[in-house]
Amino acid sequence: MNLLYYFIRWLSMMGLSVYFEEISIHGKKHIPKKGPLLLVANHPNALMDPVVVSTILRQRIGFLAKASLFSSPIHSWFLSNVLHVIPVQRREDAAEGEMINNVKSFQKTFDYLTNNGTILIFPEGTSILEMKLRKLKTGIARIALGFEELNAFNAKLKIMVMAINYSEAHRFRSKVTINISKPFSVEVYKELYKTDQVLAVQMLTKQIRKKLEKKLVLAADKEQEHFLRQVTRIYRDYLIGTLQLKRNSETEFALLKRLGNAITYTNLQNPQAYTSIKQQTDNYLELLKKHKLHDEVFRHNPEGMKFFLSLLVRLLYLIILAPLCIFGILANALPFVLPSKLFPLISREIEYKAAIVMTLGLILFPVFYLLETFLLHSLISTDLWQTILFAFMLPISGLLVLHYAKVLKVFRGLVKVRKMRTVESGVVAELKSMKENLIADLEKMRIDFISS
Segment 208-242, tens digit of pLDDT: 999 999 999 999 999 999 999 999 989 988 888 88
pLDDT of 383 reads 82
User: What is the structure's pLDDT at 356?
Assistant: 96
CB 218 within 8 A of CB 131: yes
- How buried is residue 156: exposed, middle or buried, by Cβ count under 10 Å (0-12/13-18/19+)? middle
Which band of pLDDT confidence, cut at 50, 70 and 90, is reported for residue 293?
Answer: confident
Q: In angstroms, rounded to a whole number, what is the distance separating the alpha carbons of residues 143 and 149?
A: 10
Give the global pTM.
Answer: 0.91
Among 218, 140, 150, which Cα is nearest to 184's?
140
Could you give the CA distance from residue 52 to residue 181 in angstroms, rounded to a whole number? 16
Instruction: Render pLDDT for 246-288 as a digit per residue (tens, 0 to 9).
Output: 888 888 899 999 999 999 999 999 999 999 999 999 999 999 9
The pLDDT tens digits for 125-148 are 999 999 999 999 999 999 999 999
Burial (0-12, 13-18, 19+ Cβ within 10 Å), 273: middle
pLDDT given at position 306: 76
Long-range contact pairs involving 63-67 (C-beta distance under 8 Å, separation at least 24)? 63/119, 63/120, 63/121, 64/88, 64/105, 64/109, 64/119, 64/120, 64/121, 64/122, 64/139, 66/90, 66/93, 67/93
Q: pLDDT tens digits for 353-405?
A: 999 999 999 999 999 999 999 998 888 877 888 899 999 999 999 999 999 99
User: Which helix (H) or strand (E) covers residue 105, if one does?
Assistant: helix 103-114
Write down the domain spans for the chain: 2-215, 222-291+437-451, 299-423
- Segment 179-185 shows an average pLDDT of 97
pLDDT mean over 180-203: 97
Average pLDDT, the chain: 91
Q: Does domain 2-215 have CATH number 3.40.1130.10?
A: yes
**Confidence check: pLDDT of 90 > 60:** yes
CB-based burial, 423-438: b 16+ in 10 Å, e otherwise? eeeebbeebeebbeeb
